[in-house]
Amino acid sequence: MAPAEHPRMSDVAERAGVSLSTVSRALRGAPGVAPAVRENVLRAAAELSYVVSRGASSLVTGRTGRIAVLVPFLQPWFFGVALAGMNTRLRAAELDMLVYQVGDVEELDGYVRSLPLRSNVDCVVAVSLDLDEGEIKQLDELGLPVVFCSQRVEGRPSVFIDNTGAARGATQHLLNLGHTRIAYIHTRDQTGFSWSSQERRRGYEQAMAEAGAEPFVVSERPGHDGGALAMGRLLSVSHPPTAVFAESDDVAMGALRVLRRSRLEIPEAISVIGFDGSDFAELLDLTTVAQPVFEMGVRAAELAADIVETGRPSTAQVELPTTLLVRQSTAAPRRSRNLTVRAAPHS
């Protein structure tokens, strides 16, 4: 490793028979270099398989060519897709992507305090961090521009969907099918990351109110487990719902598992709708509200790239559309249906 010292710019200059600054200009595509000379330099660089050291150049330009992406989790489908979207767009902008998992607000605080980002990246993209105003202000202490992805923040560059409207639409779908006893599964954990969840809940409540139906919200912890627990609770009340709207596909899948194990047919016994449009929803024929996650990543990266390239702050608000994907997990309720219809002889 050590024997093969990397070539420096002066090596290229020597080989091409020009000066250092000419090499710099040529490699950078800066104007003011004769085409022939430029070609010479490029060839010399290629022959030495030379690459400019970003560290050195950013020391003088002040730009690092890197952006940081902050995500609350790395594992869920959503974040993989979002990162893939960003990756695509960032590559086009020749920006590298630093990924940090910030599990909770406390950790975010730690990050901001230790500031490992400052002078290390040009911009940070916060994905689904669902921060409140105070936390956003904290991020400012980094002294870096911040782009919000999957969260709408007024006055800040952000890419988002209309959670409330989409949730209202999903609820309306169930109402239109003839359901009236529609439950909403909502999650919340201690860390306090739950903005979009709140917005979706609001959309559900609006639609229910407009229809004159009684809202019925159960709150559990996030993830499959929460969905399973919530479904268990819903199946234990005296008058169970005929349809369930889960805050996310993840949560819906937990609910589906419980229904399957209870031998309750979907959608005959109960309709289920999720949110996200994950590919697992497709596998399970789950009706869901799809959001364009990949494109959200792309657009967020685009905003970041713009900010880095122009050096100007931005307040762009990018709202992306959602799509209701109706599949086999939702259908009209059976007339005067009762969940116990199969098991109860006295039906």
Q: Which is nearer to DNA, 12 or 244 (CB)?
A: 12
With b meaning 16 or more CB within 10 Å and e meaning fewer, what string describes 144-174? bbbbbbbbbbeebbbbbbbbbbbbbbbbbbb
Interface ranges with DNA (CB under 7 A): 8-10, 18-22, 24-25, 27-28, 30-34, 37-38, 52-53, 56-57, 59-61
209 binds, among a second copy, DNA, none (CB under 5 to 8 A by kind): none
CB of 121 to DNA, least distance (A): 15
- The length of the chain in residues reads 347
Q: Which is nearer to DNA, 61 or 101 (CB)?
A: 61
Three-state DSSP class for residue 70:
strand
Q: Which two tokens stand for residue 179?
A: 């359901």
User: What distance in Å separates the CA atoms of residue 101 and residue 90, rounded to the nearest whole number?
Assistant: 19
302, containing H or E segment: helix 293-310
Among 196, 198, 258, residue whose Cα is nearest residue 226: 258
CB of 221 to a second copy, least distance (A): 15
Q: Which is nearer to a second copy, 54 or 337 (CB)?
A: 54
CB of 333 to a second copy, least distance (A): 23
Q: Which is nearer to a second copy, 109 or 319 (CB)?
A: 109
Q: For residue 143, is it left (φ>0), alpha (ψ between -120 and 50) or beta?
A: left
CB of 208 to DNA, least distance (A): 56
CB of 306 to DNA, least distance (A): 19
Hey, which bits of 102-191 come out as E strands? 123-127, 146-149, 158-161, 182-187
Hey, which bits of the chain come out as E strands? 66-71, 96-101, 123-127, 146-149, 158-161, 182-187, 216-220, 243-246, 271-276, 287-290, 317-320, 323-325
CB of 42 to DNA, least distance (A): 12
97 binds, among DNA, a second copy, none (CB under 5 to 8 A by kind): a second copy
149 binds, among DNA, a second copy, none (CB under 5 to 8 A by kind): none
User: What distance in Å separates the CA atoms of residue 147 and residue 314, rounded to the nearest whole number?
Assistant: 9
18 binds, among a second copy, DNA, none (CB under 5 to 8 A by kind): DNA
240 binds, among DNA, a second copy, none (CB under 5 to 8 A by kind): none
Cα distances from 19 to residues 28, 40, 90, 273, in angstroms, run: 14, 12, 32, 66
28 binds, among DNA, a second copy, none (CB under 5 to 8 A by kind): DNA
Interface ranges with a second copy (CB under 8 A): 1, 4, 6, 49, 51, 53-56, 58-59, 64, 66, 73-77, 79-81, 83-84, 87-88, 94, 96-101, 114-116, 118-120, 141, 143, 145, 224, 253-254, 256-257, 279-280, 283, 313
Q: In one letter, which amino acid is 251? A: V
Whether the Cβ atoms of residue 224 and residue 253 lie closer than 8 Å to each other: yes
Cα distances from 318 to residues 2, 70, 79, 170, 301, in angstroms, run: 48, 19, 19, 22, 12
75 binds, among a second copy, DNA, none (CB under 5 to 8 A by kind): a second copy
Q: Which is nearer to DNA, 113 or 342 (CB)?
A: 113
CB of 286 to a second copy, least distance (A): 12
Q: Which is nearer to a second copy, 155 or 345 (CB)?
A: 155
CB of 320 to a second copy, least distance (A): 18
Whether the Cβ atoms of residue 185 and residue 218 lie closer than 8 Å to each other: yes
Q: Which is nearer to DNA, 38 or 200 (CB)?
A: 38
CB of 17 to DNA, least distance (A): 7
Phi then psi dihedrals of residue 177, to 5 deg: -70, -15
Q: Which is nearer to a second copy, 118 or 342 (CB)?
A: 118
Q: Which is nearer to a second copy, 99 or 217 (CB)?
A: 99
